[in-house]
Amino acid sequence: MPEDLSSSSSRLVVVSNRTAFGSQTRAGGLAVALWDTLSASNGLWIGWSGKIYDVPRRRSQVVEEDGISFALADMSKADYDGFYLGYANSVLWPVMHNRLDLAVFDSDYFTAYSVINRRFAALVAEHAHEDDLVWVQDYHFLLLAKYMKEDGWRGQCGFFLHVPFPAPEVFRSIPNHLDLAAGLCAYDVVGLQSRHDVANLARYLQEEMGAERIDSDRLRIGDHVLVLRHCPIGIDAGGFSAAATSAPAVQASHRLERFLGSRDLIIGVDRMDYSKGLPQRFEAMATLFDKYPELHGNISFTQIAPPSRSVVEEYVLLRQQLDELCGRINGDYGDLDWIPIRYLARGYDREELAGLYRLARVGLVTPLQDGMNLVAKEYVAAQDPANPGVLVLSQFAGAADQMPEALIINPHDTESVADAVHAALAMPLEERQRRWQALYKGICTEDINWWRERFLAAFDMQVSQD
């Protein structure tokens, strides 16, 4: 039934923390994946309005764009602090990325998380019909289906986790992990980025919730059948590829070329987040300069890293650490006419980014832990087929499973990262083309539409239970 939502009476209802309402360009992965489907089925998108009030409005606001209805709820400052900055980004984000040491287990955060999940469950009950298919996005809403069911929801409800699911030993350190598990078990379908994430969650549910395996895709928990499916998220590969030759892309790349001269560009593009391995990446560049002095003056590493969540302490510390490292490395290795590392703490438009990727001989994507990593796919999409650059990719990014033709590295091993960058710079054209063709074919086949269809098809697996 979910295969063609546009021709059935049922609508797609999406719940995510942020929606794409009013965005000038729908460039983000989720918006590209969902917009047309929502539009064609007169769907509904529920999320946070992005507004913070001292006293929140009691009601949500319903607005329309392109045939899609949006139910947008405001948050109070206390909601935002406890739910978003607190539980979502100071408990779940670090734990899911294997950083228990950074988690702040404050019980008020969990209370705020439950309150917001309840409020959004009530919004679904208010605006959705039971023959709609509800698709909840990401770690902000682990408890939503449970509360929806408590409110009497009988329709279908699926969940996709964009971040990794850690080893059960890590997840069960969260004081309320059993509440979260009960929340997950209330869904009909849970989609995860990789097979590894599916294996972690399945083992956790077997150990903690008495789940039994029916087959590779299904678990039985009491009398409920839960479909667990790996659905690696993709990008709009064709669209991104076209963006890389657009006028803003060419303009941005000319600006950078004027700075580079004849030097080869190595590029990194990430939100400034501790999961992205930025200090280790900077250290790897220092190792590269140490080990290969012949590269001095001939390459330039540019890291684009707009600050995010900058009121959370860890993010402030990361910023300081990067400022310091960049200064030190440029002090140690720079020369009168050479700046080895450039680090720009700001964002760029999608087209501009695409142009910068295309100019770069090496795309350096080295997260310590990442659900997928879309930058890796965007870098490949943006390349010139006649003269493609080389992707150096962390084994700990979900994308590594789908992109074996990249140079796969361990981001903690700075020497091997340096060697991989060196090998990438020296790689003959024929090998670069061979690797790139395989990577590009992969991102075109398993693109953002493939991801959506694969997730929605999982609802059929739930129905066909034995």
Q: Token digits for 143?
A: 């408890």
**Which residue number is nearest to ligand ADP in terms of Cβ?**
347
Comparing CB distances to ligand ADP, the nearer of 56 and 164 is: 164
**Where do contacts with ligand ADP occur on this chain (CB under 6 A)?**
269-271, 304, 306, 347-348, 353, 372-375, 378
The DSSP output letter for 338 is B
Largest CA distance in the chain: 72
CB of 45 to ligand ADP, least distance (A): 19
Whole-Å CA distances, 401 to 206, 270, 449: 25, 20, 19
Comparing CB distances to ligand ADP, the nearer of 14 and 354 is: 354
CB of 394 to ligand ADP, least distance (A): 11
Closest C-alpha to 97, from 18, 45, 161: 161
Whole-Å CA distances, 302 to 218, 332, 352: 45, 17, 14
CB of 272 to ligand ADP, least distance (A): 9
Q: What are phi and psi of 76, to 5 degrees?
A: -80, 170
Comparing CB distances to ligand ADP, the nearer of 183 and 234 is: 234
412 is catalytic: no
The vertex-144 CA angle with 141 and 148, nearest 5°, equals 165
Residues 165/181, Cβ–Cβ less than 8 Å? no
Comparing CB distances to ligand ADP, the nearer of 249 and 374 is: 374
Comparing CB distances to ligand ADP, the nearer of 297 and 347 is: 347
CB of 237 to ligand ADP, least distance (A): 13
The vertex-44 CA angle with 40 and 48, nearest 5°, equals 140
Closest C-alpha to 186, from 272, 91, 117, 88: 117
Q: How far apart are CA 226 and CA 329, in angstroms?
A: 51
User: Residues with Cβ < 8 Å from 270, sequence gap 6 or more?
Assistant: 276, 278, 303, 304, 305, 365, 367, 375
CB of 138 to ligand ADP, least distance (A): 10
Comparing CB distances to ligand ADP, the nearer of 317 and 344 is: 344
132, 197, 370, 419: which is the annotated catalytic residue? 370
> Is the Cα torsion angle 91, 97, 100, 102 positive or negative in sign?
negative
Q: Residue 184: is it exposed, middle or buried by C-beta count within 10 angstroms (0-12/13-18/19+)?
A: buried
- Cα-to-chain-centroid distance, residue 202: 21
Beta strands in 130-253 (DSSP E): 133-137, 156-160, 189-192, 212-215, 218-221, 224-230
In the block, tokens 């790897």 appear at 284
CB of 270 to ligand ADP, least distance (A): 6
Closest C-alpha to 97, from 372, 459, 313: 372
Comparing CB distances to ligand ADP, the nearer of 43 and 164 is: 164
Quick one: how many helices (H) and strands (E) in the chain? 17, 16
CB of 377 to ligand ADP, least distance (A): 8
CB of 383 to ligand ADP, least distance (A): 15
Q: Which helix (H) or strand (E) holds 407?
A: strand 407-409
Comparing CB distances to ligand ADP, the nearer of 121 and 161 is: 161
CB of 353 to ligand ADP, least distance (A): 5
162, 197, 236, 273: which is the annotated catalytic residue? 162
Comparing CB distances to ligand ADP, the nearer of 136 and 353 is: 353
- Give me the active site residues, please: 162, 370
